[in-house]
Chains A and B, each alone.
Chain A
C-alpha cells in the first residue's frame, strides 16, 4: 500500500518534466555509431550519458594473425580519414623494433603526405561542422576545394583516400619534379581559399552566433580529462606531438603550434583552419628542401624480440601505437589508442550544463562534431551482469584464463 502511494507520488514529481533524448546509435548528426543519452528539460540539457562501443571490429586481434606487411593494409583501415597517421605510426613502431633509420628523402615524403592528409582531414571537418550548424552552402564550398588536396594525394600515392604510401622502411613511391610543381600550384589555391574561409568564419554573424560561447572546455578540465589535439589546443594549451616529441622531420621543418584562448567551438574552428595554413607552409618547405636518394630500405619480415611505442600527431590529436614482437613474422600484441577515445571525457564535460553555462539541444551536434569524432576507432569492451547491475573489465590474461575454463 505504502509502496503504491510512493510510486504515485514519484510519477507526479517534477522529475517527469525531464525526458531523455537519444542521439545515436543512428542519428543525422553522427556519421558513425555512438550513443549519447541526453536528459533534457525543454531545450536545456541537464545530463549526458555516453556509450561508444557500437562498432567493435576486433582489429587488434586480427593484427596478431597477419604478418607485418599485411598489417599495413589492415592498420590503414582503422580509420579512413586518418589512414596516413595510422600507417605512419605503425611503420615507425616496426622500424623501432628493427632499430633502423629510414633514408632522409623518405622522411620528407612521409611528412609531406602526412600534412596533405591533415589538410584533407581538417577541410573535411570544416565542411561537416558547417553542415551541423545548418550552413550547407559553406559545406559545399569547402568540400569543393577539398577536391584539390584529394587530387594531389591521388597523384602522389595512387589513391584518393586509403593511400598505402607508408611502408616498413620508407615509402612506396617517389615524388617526381613534375608532381612537385603540381603540389606547389595546389598549395597556392588552397592557401587562398583557406584564408577566405577564415574570413568567413570570423565575419559571418550566424556562424558566430552558433559557435561562440558553445562547448566551453577550460584548460584545467582539458588537461585533467586528457583531451588531445586541436580540442586541447583550442583550450589554450600548447601541446603537439610534432613539437614535444618530434618524429620524421618535425624538428627540422619549422611550424607554429596554433592555440586559441576562447576555449569554445569557435576556437576549434579557427585552430583547425590555422593549422591547415601551417601545413601548407610545411609542405612548401618539404618541396624546397627534399634531398635526393633512396626512398626505402629493405628490412627483414620478422623484427627481433622487443617492444616499441610510437606517437604521431594525427589530425584529430595524439595517436599512440604499441607493438610487441616475439621474433616471428606476426606481432605478439598490438595496441592502438586513437585520439577520439582521449577526447570523449572532454566532450561529455562540454555537454554538461553548469551554473553559469547552459547547453541547448541545438548545440549538441556542433559540440559533438567539434572534437572531430571518429567512433569506429574507439570501441572498447566491458562486461556487464545485467541482473546484478555490475560492470567490470578483464585484462587479456584474465580473459584468456576465462576462455580456457
Chain B
C-alpha cells in the first residue's frame, strides 16, 4: 500500500503529471506576462485566453516530422532530449510541495539539486556538439562558457543559505524558515538577487539567452532538433523554469510553509507553493522584458566582476550573522 502511494506521488501528484501540467500553465503565464509588458496580447485563441497554447504547441511538435541528419552522432542525438527531461523532472520531485519535504528527500540534497542544473547544462553542451551543425557548435561553446560564468555565484549563494540553516538538507532549510522567517528578509537578500539572475542564465532567457541567440546563430544548440525531440527540449525548458522557481522558493521564501489550519496542510501547502512560485515567475519574466541580449564575453565579464564578489560578500555576511 505504501509502495503504491509512493508510486502515485512520483507519477501523479506532486510528481511527473503535475509537473508537466503546471509547466505548461507557467509557460503560458510567462508568455502572457511577457506579451503584456510589451504591449501585445500574447496567446489568445487556444482555450480560455490561450491557456492551452503551450500544450497545443507541444502536441503539434510531437506530430511533426523528426529529422535526424546523416552527420549527427545518432545515439547521443536521440538520447539527449530524454536525458534532459528526466533530469529536470527528477529535480522537481525533490522540491517540497505538499509537505516540508519533497518526494525524494535526503540529507545533503541541496547539492544534488544544484548538480542537476549543471547536468542539464552539460546535456545542452552535448546536444550542441552531437548535432554537427556550425550554429549548434557555436551554441554549445557559448553554453559551456556561460556555465563558467553563472555556476559559481549560484552555488555560492546556495551555500550561504546552507550556512544560515547549518544544513545542506532542503527539509531543514524549509523548516527553519517556517519557524523563524524567510531567509529573503533576513540576510539572504543579496543571495536571492544573485540566484534569480543566475537562474535567468541557467534558463537561457534574455539577457542571457546567448547560447540560443536567435538573430545570431539561428537557434544555437537547438538548431538541428525537430519534431518529438524539439518538443521534449521545450518541455524540459518549461519544467526547468518551474523547478528553478520552486528552488528559489524553497531556499529564500520558506518553501510551501505559511500560516496553516491543522488538517488543511495538504491543500494550503501546494497553494502557498503556487503563490510563491508565481511571484518568482513574475520576477523572471519581468527581467526578460527589460534588457537587450548581452554578448558572451560581456556576460562572463559581468559575472566575474560583479556576481562572484557579491556572492562571496553574501557568504561572509551570513558567516558573521551565524
Contact = CB atoms under 8 A, between A and B. Distances in A.
A206 B38 contact: no
The contact size tier of chain B is 20 to 34
A361 B216 contact: yes
Given A136-B38, A137-B38, A43 B206 contact: no
A77 B290 CA distance: 37
B213 A206 contact: no
B39 A130 contact: no
Given A29-B215, A204-B292, A364-B216, A134 B134 contact: no
A134 B296 contact: no
Contacts of A80: none
Interface string B285-311: 000011111111110000000000000
Interface string B150-170: 000000000000000000000
B215 A209 contact: no
Contact of B216 (A136, A138, A140, A362): A362
Contacts of A140: 38-40
Contact of B296 (A19, A43, A130, A209): A43
A29 B216 contact: yes
Q: Is the interface of B mostly helix, strand, loop or mixed?
A: helix
Interface string A206-245: 1101100000000000000000000000000000000000
Contact of B294 (A43, A136, A210): A210
A27 B213 CA distance: 12
Nearest to B214: A28
A74 to B, nearest CB: 32
Contact of A362 (B37, B39, B213, B289): B213
B207 A137 contact: no
A21 B209 contact: no
Contact of B135 (A21, A131, A133): A21
Nearest to A43: B296
B265 interface: no
B317 to A, nearest CB: 26
A362 B134 contact: no
A42 B137 CA distance: 10
A365 interface: yes
Nearest to A366: B215
A19 B137 CA distance: 11
Interface of B: 37-40, 134-135, 137-138, 141-142, 206-207, 209-210, 213-218, 289-298
Given A206-B207, A360-B296, 14 more contacts: A20-B134, A22-B134, A29-B215, A43-B296, A134-B292, A134-B293, A136-B206, A140-B38, A144-B39, A206-B291, A360-B295, A362-B295, A362-B296, A365-B216
